[in-house]
Amino acid sequence: MEPISGVSRKAALIAGLPLPLRRLALRTVFRVYAAVGRSPRSGLADRFERVLRLPRREARRLDREAAFHDALAELEWLALLTRSRAAIQRDLAHVVTQSPEVLRRIAASGEPVILAPLHMGPYVIGLLSILVTFFPGRSVLILRRRDDRPLETRVMERITEFGMPVRFLTVTDRAGYLPAIRYARRGAVIVVFADLPPRYGKPAPMPIFGLPTAFAFGIDSLAHLTGATVVPLAIGAEAGGALVVPRYPFAVQANDAHERGRVADLMRRHIETTIRERPEQWHFWPSLQEYLAAEDPPMPIERAA
């Protein structure tokens, strides 16, 4: 395998293993570190304790698990970059979709659909499983951050190897928006992450965990312009694979303040519920301060010194 900048040989070797084995290998590495008193930590224990109102012991456990899942996410990016198409196809057998009939029904219509996951767990392999299993051959439009890493883009581009043309739209690209809408109207599967910070545009108040948080929010207008059904997705790591849970799908009926508020509330519930179910797997905990409304004073989300 060609060396990848910034990736250790050990990480590359683990990433080359089949999915259940690389999960086991990574967990074993973390257990060895714990046994010698060097457990990796994410530095989020105070945040878990205060925001989620957890006992200190549980917050510290989640802190250790968050470090594991950060490493796991990086490992999955690397695996999807370096493993062969056939090997990735075998890995997808370890991704389970709950209530698959929801996605089958939506796919059968041939109409545009918006998949709205969070940056949680091994979300890329979960998304790939959904696309390959339920939307084979469909065009894909991925809305991405302007600061996505080159590695992430290279992995997303590999979707084309599974017979699906892929187009990217940076969320701040105004000039590319209308051409992307026309592309999406032709039955595309649109991937929009529901948990981007407000600096990515059109922020809407979506308070979670009692905090005055706001999120970048354009799903309402995108769904209205394309006629797409929105499917909120929860993707989480399991011991030997991943679990994908489609939430209740919905359509956007109008382009007005009332409908925007309704959709924002649906997405707010999706975000809070998904994070609460697997808090250690949300990748944006370190950036929580970015989500707090600018007009409010900084919230005491950390333990006082």
- Looking at the structure, tell me whether residues 137 and 262 fall in a common domain: yes
Q: Is the pLDDT of residue 301 over 80?
A: no
- Looking at the structure, tell me whether residues 167 and 70 fall in a common domain: no
Q: Is the pLDDT of residue 304 over 60?
A: no
- Looking at the structure, tell me whether residues 72 and 110 fall in a common domain: no
Distance between CA 30 and CA 68 in Å, rounded? 7
- Looking at the structure, tell me whether residues 173 and 231 fall in a common domain: yes
- Directed axis angle between helix 56-82 and helix 150-157, to 10°? 60
> Does a structural domain hold residue 89?
no
> Residues 197-218: pLDDT tens digits?
998 888 999 999 999 999 999 9
**Side chain identity, residue 28:** T
> Does a structural domain hold residue 112?
yes
Tokens, residue 223: 């769904």
Average of per-residue pLDDT values in the chain: 90
Residue recorded with tokens 């919905």: 250
The count of structural domains within the chain is: 2
pTM of the full structure: 0.90
Tokens, residue 249: 């799908």
> Does a structural domain hold residue 217?
yes
> Does a structural domain hold residue 36?
yes
> Does a structural domain hold residue 43?
yes
Which residues form the domain of 41? 9-82
Domain boundary among 59, 82, 105: 82
- Looking at the structure, tell me whether residues 34 and 108 fall in a common domain: no
- Looking at the structure, tell me whether residues 32 and 111 fall in a common domain: no
> Does a structural domain hold residue 303?
no
Distance between CA 264 and CA 218 in Å, rounded? 9
- Looking at the structure, tell me whether residues 131 and 248 fall in a common domain: yes
> Residues 215-243: pLDDT tens digits?
999 999 999 999 999 999 999 999 889 99
> Does a structural domain hold residue 266?
yes
Would you tell me how many other CB atoms lie within 10 Å of the CB of residue 29?
Answer: 16
Beta strands 229-238; 214-216: pairing state? unpaired
pLDDT for the residue 175: 86
